[in-house]
Amino acid sequence: MFLLTMILVGFGVLLLLILGGAWRAYNGIGFSLYLVFLVCIPLAAAFAVHSTVPSSAPRRQAVGTISWIVDQKQGKSHTYTLGFKTEAGAELNLEAAAMPLFFAEGRDVTVAVTYLDENRRYPRAISFRALSGPRAGYATTVNADWFGPWLGVLFSAAVGVVALIGANRNKRSSQRAKA
């Protein structure tokens, strides 16, 4: 807990230093636009966590167990592929767009999966929900709709870029003379 507190304090001090520099560099309108830019960064990140590439593919649901999960690391990003055995006995290989339920791997935990019926080697699973076991009811999901959170990522990025350009056009006159 102490480490988390120190990390939060560090981020707070960093934010104050950034805002102090911005207060000195920009006039009132420029500083306001700079604040809008700073708000757009975590907003875009929050939208990105809850979305995936949109798709018009039909959604399919299956109930069964997760037989294996493979974490494929590519630089700093992770791609999860998993084997899913349905109650009917069919074996599905899926790519997890939503975070898979690692606690259910290889156990007698019944899981409901919603996946996109795409023409891909590994269709994307967009929702996992534990139906039995100690964590019954636990669910992870991402939105793959065309009018979903991914539009928030684009909107936040566009507003952030426009705000930053506007802030740089509203520097204090002493800052313009240096540039």
- Three-state SS for 126? strand
pTM (global) more than 0.85: no
Claim to verify: residue 133 and residue 65 sit in the same structural domain: yes
pLDDT bin (cut points 50, 70, 90) of residue 177 is low
The dihedral formed by the CA atoms of 55, 137, 83 and 50, expressed in degrees to the nearest 10: 30
Q: Which residues lie closer than 8 Å to 79 by C-beta, 6 or more apart? A: 71, 72, 95, 96
pLDDT at 63 over 70: yes
pLDDT at 173 over 70: no
**Token pair listed for 107:** 């156990």
Claim to verify: residue 31 and residue 64 sit in the same structural domain: no
Q: Which residues lie closer than 8 Å to 108 by C-beta, 6 or more apart? A: 65, 132, 133
The per-residue pLDDT for range 38-54, each reduced to its tens digit, is: 888 888 888 887 777 78
Q: Structural domain of residue 168, as residue ranges?
A: 26-51+148-179
Tell me the C-alpha distance between 13 and 21, whole Å: 12
The per-residue pLDDT for range 23-37, each reduced to its tens digit, is: 777 888 888 888 888
Number of structural domains the chain divides into: 2
Of 116, 111, 110, which is closest to residue 97 (Cα–Cα)? 116
Claim to verify: residue 134 and residue 162 sit in the same structural domain: no
Which of the pair, 8 or 164, is modelled with greater confidence? 164
The per-residue pLDDT for range 124-165, each reduced to its tens digit, is: 888 888 888 778 888 888 877 787 778 888 899 999 899 888
Claim to verify: residue 135 and residue 160 sit in the same structural domain: no
Claim to verify: residue 38 and residue 67 sit in the same structural domain: no
